[in-house]
Amino acid sequence: MTVSIKTVREVAGIRAASQMAAETLILVGDMLRPGITTEDINTFVHEDTLKRGGIPAPLNYHGFPKSVCTSVNEVVCHGIPGPRVLQNGDIINVDVTTIFEGFFGDTSATFFVGEVSDEARHVTEVCRKSLDLAIQEVREGAKLGDIGAAIQGYAQGQNCSVVRAFVGHGIGRTFHEAPQVSHVGKRGTGLRLKAGMVFTIEPMINLGGYEVEVLADKWTAVTLDGSLSAQFEHTIVVTKTGCEVLTKRSRPLKNSEEHLAAALIGG
């Protein structure tokens, strides 16, 4: 499939949708605490998205029954919100995708619920750093393999593994389009990046092995060995000199990025 080069107007549309998704994700971080359910998160995301004039993209997408994905602990991705009560020590990835005026914006983050273990914090911080390193690789003339190599090299060096079964993806007027963005790879290989390409980078990092299995609901993917998994995601547009993170947040995430907030105020 051909990878489309987005026009300035199309990038502006994706940026608007992406900023809506980013602001909703910020507010999710504000509400997270032990005792709420993943259904509570779904209700909030659904209502907040509509209030902003957007549409929650996951709802009814290929039959997905909810407006957001909530993936707790060993759940790698595509967790379905429901009655599960968040417990002190859990980690949870919340994946928000908003449609606004025909364009999609997609972002996610992993949050801490109360006080988490050193292991939970480790896999989360390795994933966060992996995404940051991958974004630094994005510029016109780079190769897709450079992105995967950056993530794989760092994560494996930190005694974590990188999920192979799920990838980032092109995005624009459709939720998923070319190219597929693998989070493992070899430098200098793969598609050459061009200014105007828009795609997500969304590494899923496991504390144990990289193998996953999909449960009977045909959506929820979990680590095969039951180990913890974390994920962060941004929507990116390639530029001549680097890239722009279209889902860049206006402030650090509560219950995920307190250390970043402290750094901003000199703490």
pLDDT digits (tens, 9 = 90+) for 251-263: 999 999 976 654 4
**For 13, phi and psi rounded to 5 degrees?**
-65, -45
pLDDT digits (tens, 9 = 90+) for 153-188: 999 999 999 999 999 999 999 999 999 999 999 999
Q: Which domains does the chain have, with CATH numbers?
A: 8-264 (3.90.230.10)
pLDDT digits (tens, 9 = 90+) for 204-228: 999 999 999 999 999 999 999 999 9
Mean pLDDT in residue range 77-100? 98
Looking at every residue in the chain, the average pLDDT score rounds to 96
Question: pTM to 2 decimals?
Answer: 0.96
What's residue 174's pLDDT?
98
- Model confidence at 43: pLDDT above 60: yes
Distance CA 127, CA 93 (A): 11
**Burial label, 263 (beta-carbon count in 10 A; 0-12, 13-18, 19+):** exposed
**Which among 167, 177, 220, 223 has a CA at the least distance from the CA of 198?**
177
How many C-beta atoms lie closer than 10 Å to residue 156's C-beta? Answer: 15
What's residue 266's pLDDT?
45
- Model confidence at 23: pLDDT above 80: yes
- Is residue 134 within 8 Å of 110, Cβ to Cβ? no
How many C-beta atoms lie closer than 10 Å to residue 16's C-beta? Answer: 17
pLDDT category of residue 232 using cuts at 50, 70 and 90: very high
- Model confidence at 267: pLDDT above 60: no
Mean pLDDT in residue range 232-242? 96
pLDDT digits (tens, 9 = 90+) for 118-160: 999 999 999 999 999 999 999 999 999 999 999 999 999 999 9
How many C-beta atoms lie closer than 10 Å to residue 117's C-beta? Answer: 12
Mean pLDDT in residue range 84-112? 98
pLDDT category of residue 1 using cuts at 50, 70 and 90: low
Distance CA 136, CA 63 (A): 35
What's residue 260's pLDDT?
62
